[in-house]
Amino acid sequence: MEEMNGISGDDVSLSIYNRKIYFPWGNDIIIYDSTLRDGEQMPGVAFTPEQKLDIAILLDEIGIKEIEAGFPAISDREAKTVKMIAEQGLNARILALSRLKREDIDAAIKADVDVILLFIASSPLHLKYKLNLSIEEVERLIVDSIDYVKDHGIIPSFSTEDSTRTSIDILKRFVKIAEETGAKRVGFTDTLGCATPEAIEFLFSEMYRFTSLPISAHLHNDFGLSLANAITALRSGARYACATVHGWGERAGNVPLEQLVMTLQYLYGIDLRIDTERLKELSDLVSRYAGIDVPKTQPFVGDNAFTHESGIHVAAVLRNPRTYEPVDPSIVGNRRRIILGKHSGRHVVETKLKELGIEVNDEELDIIMNKVKELGERKGEVKDDDLIKIIFKVRRSHE
């Protein structure tokens, strides 16, 4: 395999079939994080202003270039929080969401953000049942809103909501008007997470050819395709991709930030200049503030992401971790865990005992092995404390 950015080394060993794939924006791809907006729309989650600021600061330190800090129109407190984040002087640009309504835009202007993400639904379903607006009425709103944002010296971005259920002709009509009025970027959304990667490829390629504005992608995960769709959107010409920590957001959520970063940087060799070694720290912070545990199996940041139990795996990992870990856990700030249980082999029990500074003879090891497997069958996991108790018992019965 051709090495990509020198990432195949002692710490990384990826599929030999991975190839350098062409991304129109290459290393200039920008991930914009929406943990503070869409992430907070996860049922049951509400961050305090201080928590939002902490998360924004950490995102900025890690190298995230854009932070969607909130939806200022929803409340005074939200608007103040967005303003507080905007006033921190972070390197990241601060974005705020706004409907095509004067009061929304005013709230975003007052919050002093760099970019206002104007959006309006474009699908026939939403136009009829949600907005009760005609295409012509939407067009007038697009012009008025972009003009208004521009007049206040803020960068206008224009997105259609529910783009993947909107005809390409309507999307082009809206984009053309937005571009002519002075939008600086346009966004397309898979609001229901119901598009295939092929549909995303069609939509974004078509729009990449159609407009000279940079394109952003806001994608949901209802079918579990958000990450694949984000990669596809970027391959098809998008420059900006929205993500949230753990993919947390409305319903089944969004694109998981840590997976998008790792996939782009390691599987596709794109240099996003993001400090991946703090991804676990970011995950812990967001989980603590959201009051929601990270699923153990969450890629990269979950407790099980680098945990080994089965004897065969553990023995191999102890000889060379790359046998069962594609990247070293330190790359994402996680750590390796060796768990004893019913699948444990002799080698790992011996290693564990050595770690604990306990010496046993062969006969004792046989008995300990059996007890570990027995307890593992019953409890699933044998913790260090359990192992020490087992050794105690075995020794006592021998005295």
Interface residues toward Mn ion, by CB under 5 A? 38
Q: Which amino acid is at 290?
A: A
Smallest separation (angstroms) from Mn ion to the CB of 41: 7
Tokens for 91?
Answer: 């390197």
In the complex, minimum distance from the CB of residue 189 to Mn ion, in angstroms, rounded to a whole number: 7
State which residue, 218 or 235, has the beta carbon closest to Mn ion: 218
Nearer residue to Mn ion within complex by CB, 117 or 390? 117
The nearer residue to Mn ion, 161 or 325, going by C-beta atoms, is: 161
> Nearer to Mn ion by C-beta: 193 or 376?
193
Query: Rounded to whole angstroms, how far apart are CA atoms 228 and 226?
Result: 6
Min CB(38)–Mn ion separation in Å: 4
Output 249 or 333, the one with its CB closest to Mn ion: 249
Strand intervals (E) in the chain: 30-33, 66-70, 93-99, 115-121, 155-161, 185-190, 215-219, 240-243, 307-308, 337-338
Least distance from Mn ion to the Cβ atom of residue 220, Å? 6
The residue (of 38 and 104) whose beta carbon lies closer to Mn ion is 38
Residue 366's CB is within 10 A of a number of other CB atoms, namely: 13
Distance CA 326, CA 343 (A): 22
Specify burial of residue 83 (Cβ count, 10 A radius: 0-12, 13-18, 19+). Answer: buried
Work out whether the CA dihedral 75, 80, 86, 88 comes out positive or negative.
negative
Shortest distance (Å) from residue 286 CB to Mn ion = 17
Q: CB 244 → Mn ion: shortest distance, Å?
A: 9
H helical segments located in 130-225: 135-151, 168-181, 197-210
- Spell 132-155 as b/e; 16+ CB within 10 A means b: ebeeeebbebbbebbebbbeeebb
